[in-house]
């Protein structure tokens, strides 16, 4: 028997609850466990093959000359010949993922006598693997997306040098009375991004639909910056923003400067399971880190228009879209009486798309020390 307090394998393989789909779906839908739910839009695909549409973003506001629409009295009505609206349909298909379980009935019986529901435990762990898998794919899609020029460093978009979010101050003037160059750098960045996205989307995206997705290292720096400290200390509007996820975990409001804040704090272990029961060293990023840890001080500004669930087959300005088929997640279980085994699977059929980069921005180098 292993020594008390050391990790050991519960069984030779994995197991699953017979019908826990509802429980797993509830787990997937928990924004505290899945930060991507706060910045990604879910779209139900009608089949494993689906299409999404890219429309000419400028056509709704194209107006070259006022008199081209004049209708003279006692004259024919303008015919509309020559006007066309360009669109592009993009075909794609979901991918299918399976996180398998197999557990012996004897292992289940022995551990249940110790008060442990083995199948539920395995189901929870394997479901977390599936959720983590989806979260990583979303970040990878954002990183590799074609941002169409909507990417650059903090100082480039501000037109400055030496500006960083961790150096941002809440004091407008220096002690000698001169303007403070570090005054509200974060808020100025948000205003620049908002104006750019609002113009690019013909005002389809407003500030409240914009979300800043940041890694924990950026969240820590922003929370302790002079700008944020002054905002939280003095603003009469700060209190309503301190009642939800960000404040409880990272000391940040859920919204700042009219833009939502999401800390992508999903952790990932990069090392295999060891027989000796040793676990990853959290001080070594190569062993365990947050899924945005390798991006340094990069943040993503994304839009989510219309909430968590989006319609299929319509124009969509949401930056990150997750197309899923057959439900967001499914759980299947099979009994093998001959072998006294239970076989289970957590299944997903989905595809992450980033089709609306005009409605977002990838901002780099926001911190001075990374």
Lowest mean pLDDT among 18-27, 67-76, 112-121, 357-366: 18-27
pLDDT one-digit tens code per residue, 34-65:
999 999 999 999 999 999 987 777 888 888 89
Q: Which two tokens stand for residue 194?
A: 């908002």
Residue 309, domain member (yes or no): yes
**Domain range holding 248?**
21-54+88-364
**Model pTM score:** 0.89
Res. 12 pLDDT band, cuts 50 70 90:
very low
In a domain, 70, yes or no: no
d(CA 10, CA 343): 15
pLDDT for residue 96 is more than 50: yes
Place of tokens 């997705």: 213
Residue 353 within any structural domain of the chain:
yes
Higher pLDDT, 66 or 18: 66
- Token pair, residue 13, equals 């393989």
Domain count across the chain = 1
Q: Which residues contact 132 (CB under 8 A, 6 or more apart)?
A: 266, 268, 291
| Stretch 146-168: mean pLDDT | 96
Of residues 10, 18, 32, the one with CA closest to residue 249 = 32
Q: Is the pLDDT of residue 1 over 60?
A: no
Is residue 165 within 8 Å of residue 367, measured between CB atoms? Answer: yes
Establish if 157 belongs to a structural domain. Answer: yes
Spatial CA neighbour of 21 closest among 123, 133, 134: 123
Look up the CATH number of the domain holding residue 279.
3.90.1690.10
Instruction: Provide the b/e sequence for 146-159 (b: ≥16 CB within 10 Å).
Output: ebeebbeebbebee
**Res 313 pLDDT > 80:** yes
14 in a domain, yes or no? no
pLDDT in tens, 330-357: 888 888 888 999 888 899 999 999 999 9
Residue 103 lies in a domain: yes
Could you give the CA distance from residue 81 to residue 102 in angstroms, rounded to a whole number?
65
Residue 143 within any structural domain of the chain: yes
Task: Report how far apart, in Å, the C-alpha atoms of 364 and of each of 26, 210, 273 are.
Answer: 34, 17, 34
Rg (CA), the chain: 25
Rounded to 5 degrees, what angle do the CA atoms 194, 196, 199 make? 100
Q: Tell me, yes or no, whether 161 lies in a domain.
A: yes
Contact 216, 267 (CB under 8 A): no
Which tokens hold the place of 1? 């028997």
Give the integer Cα–Cα distance in Å for 287 and 275.
16
Q: What is the pLDDT of residues 113-128, one digit of tens each?
A: 999 888 888 888 899 9
- Residue 329 DSSP symbol: -
d(CA 119, CA 102): 10
Whether pLDDT at 14 is above 50: no
> Is residue 361 classed as helix, strand or coil in its secondary structure?
strand
- Report how far residue 228's alpha carbon sits from residue 188's, in angstroms, rounded to the nearest whole number: 13
- Give CA–CA dist 194/222, Å, rounded: 19
């Amino acid at each position: 028997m292993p020594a008390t307090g050391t990790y050991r394998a519960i069984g030779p393989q994995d197991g699953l609850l017979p019908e826990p789909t509802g429980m797993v779906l509830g787990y997937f839908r928990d924004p505290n466990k899945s930060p991507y739910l706060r910045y990604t839009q879910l779209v139900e695909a009608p089949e494993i093959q689906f299409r999404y549409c890219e429309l000419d973003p400028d056509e709704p506001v194209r107006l070259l000359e006022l008199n081209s629409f004049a209708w003279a009295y006692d004259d024919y009505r303008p015919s509309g010949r020559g006007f066309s609206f360009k669109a592009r349909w993009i075909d794609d298909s979901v991918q299918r993922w399976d996180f398998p379980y197999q557990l012996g009935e004897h292992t289940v019986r022995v551990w249940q006598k110790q008060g442990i529901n083995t199948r539920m435990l395995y189901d929870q762990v394997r479901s977390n693997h599936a959720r983590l898998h989806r979260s990583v794919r979303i970040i990878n899609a954002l990183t590799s997306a074609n941002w169409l020029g909507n990417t650059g460093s903090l100082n480039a978009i501000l037109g400055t040098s030496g500006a960083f979010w961790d150096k941002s101050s809440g004091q407008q003037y220096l002690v000698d009375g001169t303007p403070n160059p570090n005054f509200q750098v974060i808020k100025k960045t948000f205003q620049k991004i908002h104006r750019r996205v609002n113009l690019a989307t013909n005002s389809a995206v407003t500030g409240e639909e914009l979300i800043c997705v940041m890694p924990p290292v950026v969240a820590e720096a922003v929370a302790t910056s002079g700008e944020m400290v002054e905002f939280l200390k003095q603003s009469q509007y700060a209190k309503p923003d301190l009642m939800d996820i960000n404040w409880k975990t990272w000391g940040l409001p859920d919204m700042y400067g009219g833009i939502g804040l999401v800390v992508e704090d999903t952790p990932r272990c990069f090392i295999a399971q060891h027989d000796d029961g040793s676990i990853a060293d959290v001080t070594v990023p190569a062993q365990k880190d947050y899924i945005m840890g390798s991006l340094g001080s990069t943040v993503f500004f994304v839009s989510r228009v219309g909430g968590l669930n989006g319609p299929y087959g319509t124009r969509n300005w949401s930056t990150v879209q997750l197309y899923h088929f057959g439900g967001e997640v499914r759980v299947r279980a099979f009994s093998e009486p001959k072998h006294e085994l239970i076989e289970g699977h957590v299944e997903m059929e989905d595809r992450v798309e980033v089709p609306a980069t005009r409605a977002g921005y990838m901002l780099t180098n926001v911190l001075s020390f990374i």
